[in-house]
Every structure is written in structure tokens, then in C-alpha cells.
Chain A
Amino acid sequence: MRWIWIDKFLEFNSGESAVSLKNVTLAEEHVHDHFPGFPMMPECLMIEAMAQTAGILVGEARNFEEKVILAKIKKAVFFHYVRPGDTIILHANIESIAPEAASTAGKIMRGETLIAEISLMFSHIDNNLAGLEFPEENFVFTDMFNSLLTGFVDEKAKAGQS
């Protein structure tokens, strides 16, 4: 099982930008401990949610042929708490993409409120770490990730037909 920290995509512009949505709920057990009496979404998991949004964007830009790994958090600044019941929208843009790596800039919004600014670097690991070998299959982009995108792409295709 993978922990997926986004519920769906709202927009997906191949090679350029993506917008995803995450509903935060008290059914997520970890918020009971983070913190007792004051449940809030851990900021590290917001970084992971952004890494998934931006990582799928970066992976799709190369048809999921690369194994895309989060390599560096360039910036992560948080302005507000995210509490159960909140819906957050994650915006990610590709700033640069090269054979070895990609950099993305992103922000997390709750309605009109800026929650966080998160900029990341991703490594295409088969083109880095010379000498190290990785499994043939793409262990990064599992079916669960693909289903997030497939659903969205299907909807978009349908919209295009109507």
C-alpha cells in the first residue's frame, strides 16, 4: 500500500502544471496524535502531497519512463494550519526539466488563503547516481498513482467530446 496524499487532480497540463485537491478528515488517524486536542495536517505530509502532485507532473512529462524521486526540498514555508474539514488545493508548475532532473514550484491554497509555498527538485535516478542500478520496473509510479491520473484524463477526454 502507498500513502496517497492527494484525492484527485483538478487540472493537468502535460509538462507544465497540475492542480490537485486533498480533503483533510478526522478519519485520518495520525491527526489524533498530531496533536491531541488540536488535530492538524502535519506539514511534512503537505510536502509529500506536493511531491506527489509535482512528481506525477514530472513523470508524465516523460511518459513515466523515468523513475522520479524527490531529491531536494528547495523551499517549504507554511503560513497557516490545515485542520480536519479543510480542503486544500495544490498547485505545481515545472520550472525546469532536463534529462537528469526537474525543478518545480508550488503553492497550497485553502480557498483564497495561502497555506504554503513549496519548491522541489526531482531526480531521474537512472540518469544520476552513476554505477548504481535500479530495478527494471518503474517502482515509483504504481497503479494507484496512475489511477489518479487516468480518471482525470478520461474525464477530460469526455469533456472534449461533448
Chain B
Amino acid sequence: MTEARQERAPGDRPSREMHASAPSEFLVYTIGLVVAVLLTATSFWTANTTLLWPGGVFLGLAVLAIAQMGIHLVFFLHISSGPESTNNVLALAFGALIVFVVIAGTMWIVADMNINMMMPSGAPMSMQMQQ
């Protein structure tokens, strides 16, 4: 083992050489909690407000959720952009890619199939099933 080696597990404490300049870990968790509570409260407000057009509510909720997931990753799971957690970030990026492909791909394909399942009346299959 060499002293210069810096690797870090997800959710782990910072290494000693980083420790001097880093803010206290208690503070990190507390900041994370406060920001997450603010984002959650904003999400609930967004869902109930009449100020936004319907598409805006959807968009706002999606943005707030992604922001809150990021806050959780940084402040609770301690995923950082530093060289010591490159492996963790790469794994996370691959996971995020697969999640995106699964969700967006499924919705795209099924929406496409729904259009192709037009009934003689002209309404898509899903409309018929609701009646």
C-alpha cells in the first residue's frame, strides 16, 4: 500500500488527508437533511398549486425529484466528483443509463403499440379498456 492511494467507498468516511479541509460530517448530513426537506416541501406545494399549467406541474415535479436524488447521493451517500470515487461515479453513471433506457424505452414502445392498436372506432385500445 502506498500513502498516495486515495480510494473511497460509497457512503464511507473521507480519507485522513481530506479530513482537515472537509466540513464536519455531522454538518454534511444536516445540510443534506435541510435541503431535502425544502425540496420535498416544494414538491408537495408544486403538486397542489394552481399557479402552473398542467405540463409545468409535471415538469417541476420531475426536476425537483431529480434534484433531491442528487442531494441524497452527495450528502448522504457521499458520492463526490473527486478522483477517489471515480469507480463509484462510473458505476452510478452506468446504472443511470440503464434506468433511463428501461423507463424511456418502455414508455416509447408501449405508446407506439397503443397507437398501432387503433380500434375500428378510431380510439386507441387503452381508451376502449377504460370504458
State whether these chains interact: no
Taking Cβ atoms with an 8 Å cutoff, the residues of A that contact B are: none
